[in-house]
């Protein structure tokens, strides 16, 4: 993939925009973006956390719903109404990013992360600014990871694992157990047994979290490509980038994220807010 150089005349902070995709339809929690948390719609919590990141100058909610648009706009948060037929949140933010020609860095913050750490956003953006300053860098995406703290989480296919090299560059993402603890699994019979007998092995694994910082040109090119073979096999969009040779760097999240996918997640977040 060809890398377009960064513009040294653009102030990096002024060129960083967070776009939060928020659709009304949700399989498990319909209208999730508007669910009330301590008197405020969830997506507004996300936007305010993103606004607290010191190296971000602008936050936009991108939605296909007039109801979400009105709720966000009424709270003084910038919002854009997008097409309804987007296949993913990434396509939705790309529609908005296409109309921001002076922006170099686009941050995709998920609309169901009401307690995302502003410091995590800051660290990921700082990493991308550093890569833009290096003409030899081929990093087009910066994302984040967290430690995995239980065997149940590690073996859960809904929790995505990422393998990094010594330079924090992503080698692969998977729903499977990677890297596979071969010797320990042979000794104890199964990976499950190995991990329960040797809990220190958990330190070898990382959970991928859904924060993405894109070079704008990479984002727009990425969304022009059709879904790739590995992406479709694992149902992981980020594999499309790896298959096209886009470098992905992963930084450690400042704090553990608390995404809202289920009623139980929602109650946990409400309790944390209280």
- Encode pLDDT of 32-48 as tens digits: 899 999 899 999 999 99
Residue 259 pLDDT class (50, 70, 90 cuts) = confident
How would you class 270 by CB atoms within 10 Å of its CB: exposed for 0-12, middle for 13-18, buried for 19 or more?
A: middle
Q: How far apart are CA 139 and CA 157, in angstroms?
A: 27
Work out the percent of the chain whose per-residue pLDDT is above 90. Answer: 79
Domains located in the chain, CATH noted: 12-116 (3.90.550.10), 120-257 (3.90.550.10)
Q: Is the pLDDT at 213 greater than 80, yes or no?
A: yes
Specify the pLDDT at position 268. 87
Strand (E) or helix (H) holding 219: helix 216-222
Residue 203, pLDDT score:
94
pLDDT of res. 195: 94
pLDDT tens-digit series, residues 63-88? 999 999 999 999 999 999 999 889 99
pLDDT range class, residue 2, cuts 50, 70, 90: very low
135 vs 265, residue with greater confidence: 135
Residue given tokens 């928020």 in the structure block: 22
The stretch 113-127 carries a mean pLDDT of 95
Give the pLDDT of residue 247.
98
- Give the pLDDT band (50/70/90) at residue 12: low
What percent of the chain has a predicted confidence (pLDDT) above 70? Answer: 94
User: Which two structure tokens, joined as six digits, stand for 138?
Assistant: 């081929």
Per-residue pLDDT tens digits for 216-233: 999 999 999 999 999 999
Question: If we measure between CA atoms, which residue out of 46, 49, 83 comes closest to residue 61?
Answer: 46
Task: Please check the confidence at residue 271 and state whether its pLDDT lies above 70.
Answer: yes
Question: Exposed e or buried b for every residue in 135-157, given b needs 16+ CB within 10 A?
Answer: eebebbbbbbbbebeebebbeee
Note the pLDDT of residue 1: 41
Range of weakest confidence among 193-207, 213-227, 258-272: 258-272
Tell whether the model's pLDDT for residue 137 goes beyond 80: yes
What local confidence, expressed as pLDDT, does residue 14 receive? 52
- DSSP annotation of 158 reads T
Selection from 139, 133, 265 nearest residue 212 by Cα:
139
Mean pLDDT of 112-125: 94
Residue 32 per-residue DSSP state = G
Mean pLDDT of 149-160: 92
Q: What is the mean pLDDT of residues 119-136?
A: 95
Q: What is the pLDDT of residue 188?
A: 96
Report cis status (omega within 30 of 0) of the bond before 24: no
pTM of the model: 0.91
| Residues across the chain | 274
């Amino acid at each position: 993939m060809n890398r377009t150089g960064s513009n040294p005349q653009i102030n990096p902070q002024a060129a960083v925009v967070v776009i939060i995709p928020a659709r009304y339809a949700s399989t498990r929690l319909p209208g999730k973006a508007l669910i009330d948390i301590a008197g405020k719609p969830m997506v507004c919590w996300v936007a305010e956390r993103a606004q607290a990141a010191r190296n971000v100058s602008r936050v936009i909610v991108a939605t296909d719903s007039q109801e979400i648009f009105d709720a966000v706009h009424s709270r003084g948060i910038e919002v854009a109404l997008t097409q309804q037929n987007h296949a993913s949140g990434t396509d939705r933010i790309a529609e908005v990013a296409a109309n921001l020609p002076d922006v170099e860095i686009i941050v995709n913050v998920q609309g169901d992360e009401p307690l995302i750490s502003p410091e995590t956003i800051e660290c990921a953006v700082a990493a991308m600014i550093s890569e833009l300053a290096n003409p030899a860098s081929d990093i087009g995406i910066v994302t984040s990871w967290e430690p995995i703290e239980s065997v149940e989480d590690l073996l859960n296919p809904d929790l995505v694992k990422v393998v990094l090299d010594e330079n924090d560059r992503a080698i692969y993402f998977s729903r499977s157990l990677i890297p596979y603890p071969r010797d320990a699994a042979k000794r104890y019979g199964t990976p499950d047994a190995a991990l329960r007998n040797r809990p220190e092995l958990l330190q070898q694994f990382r959970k991928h979290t859904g924060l993405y910082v894109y070079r704008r040109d990479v984002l727009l090119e990425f969304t022009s490509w059709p879904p790739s073979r590995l992406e479709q096999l694992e149902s992981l969009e980020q594999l499309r980038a790896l298959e096209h040779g886009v470098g992905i760097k992963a930084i450690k999240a400042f704090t553990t994220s608390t995404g809202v996918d289920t009623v139980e997640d929602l109650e946990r977040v409400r309790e944390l807010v209280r």
